[in-house]
Amino acid sequence: MRQFMLPDLGEGLEEAEIVAWYVNEGDHVVTDQPLVSVETDKAVVEIPSPSSGRIAHVFGAKGDIVKVGTPLVEFAEGAEPDTGTIVGELGSIEHPLAAGPSSERPAGQQPQVFPAVRSLARKLDIDLESVVATGPGGTITRADVERAAKSVSQTGRPEPLRGMRRAMAQRMMAAHAEVVPATVTDEADIDDWPTGEDVTIRLVRAIAIACKAEPALNAWYNSSTGERRLIARIDLGIAVDTEGGLIVPVLRNVAERSVADLRAGLDRLRADSIARSIPPEELRGATITLSNFGMIGGRFANLVIVPPQVAIIGAGRISQRAVAYRGQPAVRRMLPLSLTFDHRIVTGGEAARFLVALKSQLELTP
C-alpha cells in the first residue's frame, strides 16, 4: 500500500478541514485528478492525486480536521487486496464504539436513560451527553431533556468553530502569546485630494514610501532563533472582509507597480477572496499588512500582528473634523491612521518616523 499524506498548504498551516471528496474507495484515478477539497484558514483548496492508481482507502469524512502530514488516501499496489494494516486497525477500533458511549467510560459514570426519554431526545435533537441528570441514581428524565431543549431554544445551540474562524482563533491566540504590541496613532489631512481619489491605492503607495523611509517595519522576526530579517521588497497584505471571515491576500512588490496595475491586482485579489477561490500562494509571504477598516467604521484601532511580520497599519473612517489649518480653525477631511508594531523588534522612534512619513505622503496634493 502507498499512502498520500496531506501536503503543506501554506505558511504556518498545520491542519485543514475536509470539504468534499471527489473519489471513492475502489476508484481508479490518474495523476493530477482532484481527490478532495479542503478548507484552510483562508481558502478552499483542491488537492490533486500525486500519481495514477486505485484508491484502496480514504481517510476522513466531510467536516473532519486533518493534520498536515497525516494520510489522506491509500493506493493499492498492483493486485494487493484492500486490507492494509491501517485499514485493519481502523476496523478494530469500530467494535467498541459500536457498543455505545458507555464502553468508553468507567463503570457507573454513564447516566441511565430510558428508551422513551432517549426517543424524546432524538426528536428534539438534544445530545444526551450535555444533559444534566436529576433523576434517581443519575437517571436522565423527560424533564431533564425538555429543560435542555428549552435552554437551546433560548440561548442557541453551541457550534464548533470551523474553517477560517477556527484558524483565526488559533492564530490570534498564538499572536497574543508571542507579540508585544504597541500602537501609535495620527490623522492625515486629505481635504485637498481630488474628488474620487482611490483611498486604498493612495494608502498602498504611501506605505511603500514609508517602508523605504523606515525599513525596520518591513521585516520578519523569528522568535525561536532571535533573528530579524529586513526585507527590501514590499509585499503588502491587504485585509479583506468576507462573509466567512477575514482573508489577507498579498499584493506583491507594491513599490514598483503603477497605480493602474495595483488597482487591477487588488480587484482580482478581493474577488478571489470573496469567492474563496484564491490560490494558497497568494496568501503567503506578506512583509507588512494594511487593514482599511474605516470602509466599515471606526477611527483608531489596536490591531493584531501575525508573526513573522512586525507591523500592521490601520486606516479608519474618513470624516470631516474641525482642526487648525494654517493658523485658523477649519473643517477638513481627516483620515485616522493607526500603526501597531511589535515592540520586541521595532523601537518607538522607528514607529514614529514611519508614521510621520506615511502621513506626509498622504497629505501631498496629487
| Prior bond of 308 cis (ω within 30°) | yes
Distance, in Å, from the CA atom of 144 to the CA atom of 128, rounded to the nearest integer, reads: 10
Q: What is the pLDDT at residue 260?
A: 97
Strand partners for 186? 337
Strand partners for 316? none
In degrees and rounded to multiples of 5, residue 172 shows phi and psi of -65, -40
Strand partners for 74? 3, 57
Distance, in Å, from the CA atom of 167 to the CA atom of 251, rounded to the nearest integer, reads: 22
- Number of residues in the chain: 366
Secondary structure (3-state) at 100:
coil
**Which residues, other chains included, contact 296 with Cβ-Cβ below 8 Å and sequence gap of 6+?**
241
Q: Tens place of pLDDT for every residue, the chain, 366 residues?
A: 789 999 877 656 778 889 889 999 999 999 888 899 888 766 778 888 988 999 999 999 988 888 888 999 999 875 333 333 222 222 322 322 233 333 333 444 567 788 788 888 888 888 888 888 888 778 898 888 988 888 888 877 777 777 778 878 888 888 899 999 999 999 999 999 999 999 999 999 999 999 999 999 999 999 999 999 999 999 999 999 988 788 999 999 999 999 999 999 999 999 999 888 888 889 999 999 999 999 999 999 999 999 999 999 999 999 999 999 999 999 999 999 999 999 999 999 999 999 999 999 999 987
Secondary structure (3-state) at 302:
coil
Q: What is the pLDDT at residue 269?
A: 95
Contact predicate 234/211, CB 8 Å: yes
Q: What is the pLDDT at residue 264?
A: 97
The helix-helix angle for 115-124 and 142-155 (nearest 10°) equals 10
H and E: helices and strands count for the chain: 7, 21
2-97 and 105-155 share one CATH topology? Answer: no
Q: What is the pLDDT at residue 328?
A: 95
Distance, in Å, from the CA atom of 341 to the CA atom of 352, rounded to the nearest integer, reads: 10
Contact predicate 207/253, CB 8 Å: no
Of 1.20.58.480, 4.10.320.10, 3.40.220.10, 2.60.40.10, the CATH number of 105-155 is 4.10.320.10
Nearest alpha carbon to residue 290 among 348, 223, 352, 358: 358
- DSSP letters, 188-255, are EE-TTSPTT--HHHHHHHHHHHHHHH-GGGSEEEETTTTEEEE-SS--EEE-EEETTEEE--EE--GG
User: Which residue do the cell numbers 500582528 mark?
Assistant: 305
Distance, in Å, from the CA atom of 304 to the CA atom of 12, rounded to the nearest integer, reads: 17
Q: What is the pLDDT at residue 100?
A: 33
Write down the domain spans for the chain: 2-97, 105-155, 163-362
Contact predicate 339/313, CB 8 Å: yes
pTM (global) more than 0.75:
no
Q: DSSP class of residue 296?
A: T
Q: Tell me which architecture the domain covering 163-362 has in CATH.
A: 2-Layer Sandwich (3.30)
Q: Tell me which architecture the domain covering 2-97 has in CATH.
A: Beta Barrel (2.40)
Locate 54 and state its grid cell: 486505485
Distance, in Å, from the CA atom of 293 to the CA atom of 317, rounded to the nearest integer, reads: 7
Strand partners for 289? 237, 312
Cβ burial of 229 (10 Å; 0-12, 13-18, 19+) is exposed
Contact predicate 362/318, CB 8 Å: no
